[in-house]
Amino acid sequence: MFQEAETMDHNTQFAGQQPGTQTARFGAHETIEVHEILNGAIDVINRFQLYRPHVQDGELQLMLDRQMQFAISEYNTMVQLLQGKGMGHAVPYQGPKNVTPVYGLRNPQPYGPQASAQQLDDRDVAVGMLCAHKSSAVHKMTAALECADPNIRRMLQQSAVNCAEQAYEVWQYMNQRGYYQVPTMMDMTTQTMIRSFAETPNQQPQ
């Protein structure tokens, strides 16, 4: 039944007639993708609001508030674009300057689930924020690759980059406090792996 209706709409378009009362602004695929992205954005905003009462560290609190306000603004901009209320240009996330990563294991403490929500601490909140941004970055870039509309495509691309920037901001906080430590290999092993690749000359078309 659905296939028949889809075929009729397709044939009608080729006959020079509109299948409905007006021409669709967006394709079906990108509409579904953006629907999922917006639901995910709502989830991140709500999740950050749930995290906030458990934050004790002032720096983490400022970061959470800054990222939550940015998420709300970005969400509203995307909704406005979809509803034809503006061009909806995506704004790059501007976080604090990067700090030098700390490499190596520094006696990491065991980590596991808390027994209750009341026991959630700064590390739990930071882990939740980091995972939210990582997941969102992947989903938004995947959705962007499926979009035909150039404005939605650019917005989702920038939004994915914004998630990556916010994830790195959270990671830097965790790294500096020993929550997310970076194991290393022996220098000889690292250099051997790096040097296992060789450059190739530019290929000229035949």
Of all residues in the chain, the percent with pLDDT exceeding 90 is 72
Any idea what the CATH number is for the domain that residue 161 is in? 1.20.1260.10
Is residue 10 pLDDT above 50, yes or no?
Answer: no
In one-letter notation, the amino acid at residue 154 is R
Domain assignment of residue 18, yes or no: no
43-67 residue pLDDT tens: 999 999 999 999 999 999 999 999 9
What is the average pLDDT across 150-168? Answer: 96
Say which residue, 22 or 126, is predicted with more confidence: 126
Domain assignment of residue 129, yes or no: yes
The whole-number pLDDT of residue 62 equals: 97
167: containing domain? 26-93+120-206
Strand ranges (E), 50-108: none
Domain assignment of residue 6, yes or no: no
The whole-number pLDDT of residue 88 equals: 67
The whole-number pLDDT of residue 130 equals: 98
The whole-number pLDDT of residue 95 equals: 86
**What is the number of structural domains in the chain?**
1
85-144 residue pLDDT tens: 876 678 999 988 888 999 999 988 899 999 999 999 999 999 999 999 999 999 999 999
Domain assignment of residue 53, yes or no: yes
Domain assignment of residue 20, yes or no: no
Domain assignment of residue 115, yes or no: no
Domain assignment of residue 60, yes or no: yes
Contact 191, 185 (CB under 8 A): no
The angle that helices 122-144 and 58-82 make with each other, rounded to 10 degrees, is 20
Cβ atoms within 10 Å of 46's Cβ, excluding its own: 11
pTM over 0.75: yes
